């Protein structure tokens, strides 16, 4: 019985030692763990990296800062359509005119681009269906919505 008590006590001490050692914050351990997480290829560093870049250029004696930004010309309407609009306009969901079906687009195109843009940006509830504002994606900019409308119109004429 005494040998079992000794073995149990040693096992308990050994378990306690490992438990305490594991939970102690040794100097530099936190920094080392963070460095391991950031460099193990898991992509954490890429996900938290800065999105934009600031470029500086010197023109004669003054320094100007140029910030990269999205312009209306740089917006790809096809990509916006593929990511946000195709769900409804690809299958005709909720009365959405299908892209490529010229008959359903004729009256809409005749109303003009300003009308199409306003309906796409602000939404529309009509007798033929429902168009949520910005296709249900409020993160889209007006320029992106307009580019998507232009793409759909060009594919449906």
Q: Residue 45: which region, alpha, beta or left (left: phi > 0; alpha: psi -120 to 50)?
A: alpha
Per-residue confidence (pLDDT) for residue 21, from 0 to 100: 72
Query: Rounded to whole angstroms, how far apart are CA atoms 132 and 137?
Result: 9
| Segment-wise mean pLDDT, segments of 10 residues, the chain, 157 residues | 89 86 67 65 63 60 42 73 88 88 89 91 85 88 92 90
Predicted confidence (pLDDT) per residue in 88-126, tens digit? 888 888 888 999 988 988 988 999 999 999 989 998 888
Domain at 72-155: CATH architecture: Orthogonal Bundle (1.10)
Residues with Cβ within 8 Å of 15's Cβ and at least 6 positions away in sequence, in order, are none
- Domain boundaries of the chain, sorted by first residue: 2-46, 72-155
């Amino acid at each position: 019985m005494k040998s079992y008590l000794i073995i149990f006590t040693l096992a308990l001490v050994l378990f306690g030692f490992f438990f305490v050692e594991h939970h102690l914050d040794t100097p530099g351990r936190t920094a080392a763990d963070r460095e391991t997480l950031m460099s193990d290829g898991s992509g954490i560093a890429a996900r938290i990296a800065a999105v934009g870049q600031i470029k500086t250029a010197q023109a004669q004696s003054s320094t100007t800062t140029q910030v990269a930004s999205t312009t209306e010309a740089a917006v790809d309407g096809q990509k916006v359509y593929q990511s946000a609009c195709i769900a409804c306009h690809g299958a005709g969901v909720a009365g959405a005119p299908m892209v490529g079906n010229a008959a359903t687009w004729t009256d809409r195109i005749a109303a003009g681009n300003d009308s199409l843009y306003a309906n796409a940006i602000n939404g529309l509830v009509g007798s033929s269906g429902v168009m949520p504002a910005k296709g249900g994606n409020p993160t889209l900019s007006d320029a992106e919505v307009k580019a998507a409308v232009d793409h759909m119109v060009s594919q449906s004429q």
